[in-house]
Amino acid sequence: MAGKPNYLILLVSTTIILIIDQLSKVFIDRAMDLHQSIPVIPNFFSITYIRNKGAAFGFLANTSYRLPFFIFISIVAVIVILVAYSKLRKDQKLAMLSLSMILAGAVGNLIDRIRLGEVIDFLDVYWGNYHWPAFNIADSAICVGVFFLALDMLREERRLKAQPHGPS
C-alpha cells in the first residue's frame, strides 16, 4: 500500500481549520473589547479576549527578538510538516489529518504574528482562580493534531511489529 499521500486531505482540512481560526479571531476582535470576558460555563470556561505576544504561557513575550524568532520557527515548522507529509504512505490517513491540523494551527498563528505582531487568544479554561493559558482554534488544532499523530505512531509501531520478518 505504498504510494503518495493524498494532498486533497492536506488542502481541504488545512483550509477549513484555517478559515475557522481566522474568522473566529476576526469576530472576537470586532465583537469584544480587549480583556472582556463572557462566562460560558461558570467556574470553568469563558470567552476572554486577550492578545499574546509570546508563545504558550507568554514565553518570550517581552524579548526584542520574539517576533522574528516566532515567524522563523513557524516557517521552519511549515516546511518540516510539508516534508513529513510528502513521506507518508497513502494509507496513513490519520497521519495526513494530523499533520494538516498541525499545519493549519502553525499557519493560523503565523498569520496573526505577521498581521498583528501577536496572537489573538480567547478560549479561557479555568477552575475557580486557576486558569489554563487562554488559547485559540489554531492552538487547539495543533494539540489535537499532535495527539492524533501520537496515536498514528502507535498504530504504525503495531503494524510494523505484526509484519512477518524475513530470514535472519
pLDDT the model gives residue 86: 95
Of the pLDDT bands very low, low, confident and very high (cuts 50, 70, 90), residue 154 is: very high
pLDDT the model gives residue 53: 81
pLDDT (tens digit per residue) in 126-137? 998 898 989 999
Euclidean distance between CA atoms 83 and 60, whole angstroms? 28
pLDDT the model gives residue 4: 82
Q: Is the pLDDT of residue 62 over 90?
A: no
Cα–chain center distance at 121: 13
- What is the mean predicted confidence (pLDDT) over 137-160? 94
Cα–chain center distance at 125: 17
Catalytic residues: 121, 139
Scan for cell 490517513, then name that residue. Answer: 93
- What is the mean predicted confidence (pLDDT) over 21-44? 97
Kindly state whether residue 52 falls inside one of the protein's structural domains. Answer: yes
pLDDT the model gives residue 167: 52
Kindly state whether residue 95 falls inside one of the protein's structural domains. Answer: yes
Contacts of 91 by beta carbon, 8 Å cutoff, 6+ apart: 1
Domain span at residue 117 reads 7-159
Of the pLDDT bands very low, low, confident and very high (cuts 50, 70, 90), residue 59 is: low
pLDDT the model gives residue 3: 73
Name the burial class of residue 79, with classes exposed (0-12), middle (13-18) and buried (19+) by CB atoms within 10 angstroms of its CB: exposed
Kindly state whether residue 166 falls inside one of the protein's structural domains. Answer: no
Kindly state whether residue 28 falls inside one of the protein's structural domains. Answer: yes
Kindly state whether residue 165 falls inside one of the protein's structural domains. Answer: no
* pLDDT-wise least confident of 18-32, 63-77, 115-129, 139-153: 63-77
Q: Is the pLDDT of residue 58 over 60?
A: no
Query: Higher pLDDT residue, 68 or 41?
Result: 41
Number of domains in the chain: 1
Kindly state whether residue 2 falls inside one of the protein's structural domains. Answer: no
pLDDT (tens digit per residue) in 89-142? 999 999 999 999 999 999 999 999 999 989 999 999 999 889 898 999 999 999
- Written as nine digits, the cell of 134 is 487562554
Kindly state whether residue 167 falls inside one of the protein's structural domains. Answer: no
> Of how many residues is the chain composed?
168
Q: Is the pLDDT of residue 55 over 90?
A: no
Kindly state whether residue 68 falls inside one of the protein's structural domains. Answer: yes
